[in-house]
Amino acid sequence: MRFIVSTSTLLKQLQSVSGALSNSTVLPILENFLFEIKDGNLTISATDLQTSMTTSLAVEAKENGRIAIPSRILLDTLKSLPEQPVAFSVDDSTFAIEISAGDGKYKLSGENGEDFPKIPVVENASSVNLPASVLGEAINKTIFAVSNDELRPAMTGVFCQLSSQHLTFVATDAHKLVRYRRKDAKADSTTSFILPKKALTLLKSALPADDVNVSVEYNSTSAFFKFGNINLVCRLIDERYPDYEAVIPKENPNKLAIDRLAFLGSLNRVAIYANKTTHQVRLKINGSELNISSEDIDFANEAHERLNCQYEGEDMEIGFNARFLIEMLKNLSCEEVSLEMSTPNRAGLLLPQGGDENEDVLMLVMPVMLNSYA
């Protein structure tokens, strides 16, 4: 088997799917790319058995065939070569590969392409089409709140609810929660499933800048994303997602409106002086004044800042983990945010003000018990 392709074109396609590779010592073949040539078209696949990605490109080739090529050495070789045509010659009996580029020849050992795991196909699937910008925004706004706790597998992914009214994406780690809803994206039938974090991270980096249409197909076990020449298929997390609606407080009479960047800047500075374990900051609201403070008793560190705000409700003091608030504020793009609270021991809601009318974003953050300093 022999084919010719440009170094930069091949490298770009390999990098777009390389995130799905596995470092499996149990199945070393998962460290390889699968190259399949059919009628002058090269399909490249990478998988870790849970998530698989494929891409395709046209090459100069006279015969069909398949070979598994070690990913690391191939990527490193292509990165170090200048832009030029590169020829691959594969011995179909020994799986030896010779790469010719300019005056250089490089030999490496491949593996039998027939031993590469079969890339799953989603059967009996329902489908929905989403603009890449909507899907990208949904991933950006939720993925930071996904849990890393393997003992609670349902929370290690993003919960997707599809309906004829809207699409909802939810992520939580029990300390913070994000509900991202799109009113301009709808599905024909009502269903829900949990997408794993790795697949969403790969999607986020692979989605193109131009607003192409992404075809999403899904059944009870897998989801399949297709856009441009990229295909991604992932196994869904087979768990029951917690009832997130139950933890969102409905009555929040205390409403604070404040400039997002001013609030974020203040928290970034004050958090430097907070306890390194709890990252606790104290918000004290009196009228139209917000006092943000922190202290670390062990090192006699403390910080205080005062911001102007608009506030409706009773004066109150509430403690939060600064890292959670900072993360949430960074993942919003609006100019002003609203923090809605009921009591110091109940969750606060962070809501963007203004922005896209088709977008409904709700971020929830649990309070922390305040220390007794004044």
pLDDT score at 372: 57
| pLDDT tens per residue, range 281-305 | 999 999 999 999 999 999 999 999 9
Q: Would you tell me the crossing angle of helices 260-271 and 322-330 to the nearest 10 degrees? A: 150
Cβ neighbours for 229, distance < 8 A, ≥ 6 positions apart: 13, 55, 56, 57
pLDDT score at 371: 64
Question: What domains can be seen in the chain, in order of their start residue?
Answer: 2-115 (3.10.150.10), 126-245 (3.10.150.10), 248-368 (3.10.150.10)
Percentage of the chain beyond pLDDT 90 is 90
Q: What is the dihedral of CA 209, 213, 219, 222, to 10 degrees?
A: -20
| pLDDT tens per residue, range 339-374 | 999 999 999 999 999 878 889 999 999 999 876 544
Q: Give the mean model confidence (pLDDT) for residues 214-222.
A: 95
- 315, β-bridge pairs: none
Q: Give the mean model confidence (pLDDT) for residues 325-347.
A: 95
Strands 280-286 and 213-218: unpaired
Q: Name which of 24, 210, 220 is nearest 32 in CA terms.
A: 24
What is the distance between the alpha carbons of residues 308 and 239, in angstroms, rounded to a whole number? Answer: 45
Does the pLDDT of residue 146 top 70, yes or no?
A: yes
CA-CA distances (angstroms) from residue 120 to 28, 51, 274? 19, 9, 49
pLDDT averaged over every residue in the chain: 95
What is the distance between the alpha carbons of residues 90 and 59, in angstroms, rounded to a whole number? Answer: 15
| pLDDT tens per residue, range 64-100 | 999 999 999 999 999 999 999 999 999 999 999 999 9
Q: Name which of 219, 234, 59 is nearest 139 in CA terms.
A: 234
What is the distance between the alpha carbons of residues 164 and 170, in angstroms, rounded to a whole number? Answer: 17
pTM above 0.85, yes or no: yes
What is the distance between the alpha carbons of residues 61 and 63, in angstroms, rounded to a whole number? Answer: 6
Full DSSP string of 285-325: EETTEEEEEEEEGGGTEEEEEEEE-EEES--EEEEEEHHHH
